[in-house]
Structure 1
Amino acid sequence: MLAQFGYIGLFLIIGCAFIMVTLGIPAVLSRLTWIVPRKPTKVKLETYECGMQTTGRSWVQFNFRYYIYALMLIVMDVLAVFLYPWAASLGDLGATGFFVIAFFLVIVTVGYLYAWKKRALEWQ
């Protein structure tokens, strides 16, 4: 049993080392001016929008409906992530597994119907 936790610890150490190296490489390279030169000019510091001159403010507040669509997409992705392993192991889970996923589907359906009732899914 201790060997299994050793693998988990080794995985965590390798993961943390990978993160530190990935974050450290740009920090180190930014200090070396012969690799990453810094010559800021007025043109380089301007906001770039697909090769066109910026009109108005460069910060635009998006409509909240975009976020609703994004949240609904995430909910459907999570649903797919949970349904696939459940379907693959339904024979081993038995009746308990079936009722648990049925409850999960009821919760997702209620959320979807709520969003539909509030007209959050209509494009205006």
Structure 2
Amino acid sequence: MSESYGVIAAVVVLGLAGLLGAFALNKALTVTYPTEGKLKTYESGVDPVGEGWAQVHIRYYLFAYLYVIFAVDAIYLFPWATIFATLGFATLVEMFIFLAFVAVGLLYAYRKGILRWT
């Protein structure tokens, strides 16, 4: 029994040695010339201006939340639709109940004005 632990320990040690060796070889073969331009922060081709802190309006979080709701809806709906014929009528009723809950949520979001972009 203890012999198998020795094999596992040897494999782990050899794996770590290989990993550390690869990192050391990469460090030894890398040529770097750190200049002021290379050390400057790069942001999509534009020089960064101002602070790195920006507040986001809560409306964007609501759109993200609505997206997650409809993504989950799609996750349930598409696989169900592919095997609908084998499941029967009861699952059709259950899916319409599920879609009714999603529709009520969408109606609520519409009535609260969440879906308006302005």
Alignment TM class, shorter chain as reference: 0.5 to 0.7
Aligned length: 99
Q: Which has the higher contact order (CA 8 A, sep 6+)?
A: 2
Paired amino acid for 1:48: Y
Larger radius of gyration: 2
Selected match of 1:113 from 93, 99, 107: 107
1:93 and 2:93 matched = no
Say which SS state the counterpart of residue 34 (structure 1) adopts. helix
Unaligned runs of 5+ in 2: 1-18
TM-score by length of 2: 0.63
Unaligned runs of 5+ in 1: 1-24
Over 4 Å off, 4+ runs: 27-32, 35-45
Distance in 2, matches of 1:50 and 1:43, equals: 15
User: How far apart are residue 122 of structure 1 and its match?
Assistant: 0.9
Distance in 2, matches of 1:92 and 1:58, equals: 54
- Choose between structure 1 and 2: higher helix proportion: 2
Percent identity (aligned): 34
The answer as to whether partners of 1:29 and 1:35 remain within 8 angstroms in 2 is no
